[in-house]
């Protein structure tokens, strides 16, 4: 039993076929389940479900590819990408900036994930001309954090 129903998979497959223009790599950082209990360290309860959900999404289009890194084995890469907690993933595609997700993308975040995949695929958004013009003048870095919950 997967996360996405067969009906939703069909809808998403059609949506991706219509909307994805370029390839997108979903780069995920995770933590393997450890048989050892380390005092003070919480196991990552959402790492495996997040990976399974992303595998289901990536399987819905030839333009999507999922790469999974164990964070302890890819520390330098994670650091360079600003990933310091798991589960986390980001997209490599036609976006100029970077979109990172921390935590399992369920509920509201799932819609954001699908919309972002489409935008990163094309490198284009439906933002207004005023917004795009302003963004093109930015010379310094801007970080936007969006806190959400599944419902």
Partner 1 sequence: MAVESEHVTADVIEAMEFPELSRRYGVRGVPKIVINETIEFVGALPESQYLAHVREAVEANGKNTM
Footprint of partner 1 (CB under 8 A) = 46, 82, 85, 94-105, 108-109, 112, 116, 119-120, 123-125, 127-128, 130-132, 134-150
Nearer to partner 1, 7 or 145 (CB): 145
Nearer to partner 1, 17 or 135 (CB): 135
Cis before 87 (ω within 30): yes
Residue 121 C-beta: closest distance to partner 1, Å:
10
> What is the rounded CA–CA span in Å between residue 46 and residue 52?
10
> What is the rounded CA–CA span in Å between residue 66 and residue 24?
9
Can you give the C-alpha Rg of the chain in angstroms? 17
Nearer to partner 1, 17 or 127 (CB): 127
Nearer to partner 1, 68 or 112 (CB): 112
**What is the separation of C-alpha 26 from the centre of its chain, rounded to a whole number of angstroms?**
6
Residue 145 C-beta: closest distance to partner 1, Å:
4
> What is the rounded CA–CA span in Å between residue 41 and residue 35?
13
Residue 69 C-beta: closest distance to partner 1, Å:
18
């Amino acid at each position: 039993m997967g996360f996405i129903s067969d009906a939703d998979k069909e809808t998403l497959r059609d949506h991706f076929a219509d909307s994805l223009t370029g390839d997108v790599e979903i780069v995920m950082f995770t933590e393997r389940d450890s048989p050892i209990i380390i005092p003070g360290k919480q196991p990552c309860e959402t790492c495996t479900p997040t990976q399974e959900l992303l595998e289901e999404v990536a399987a819905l289009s030839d333009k999507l590819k999922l790469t999974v890194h164990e964070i302890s084995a890819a520390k330098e890469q994670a650091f360079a990408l600003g990933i310091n907690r798991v589960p986390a993933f980001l997209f490599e595609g036609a976006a100029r900036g970077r979109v990172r997700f921390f935590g399992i993308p369920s509920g509201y975040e799932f819609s954001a994930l699908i919309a972002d995949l489409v935008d990163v695929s094309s490198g284009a958004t439906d933002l207004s001309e005023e917004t795009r013009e302003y963004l093109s003048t930015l010379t310094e870095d801007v970080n936007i954090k969006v806190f959400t919950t599944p419902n």
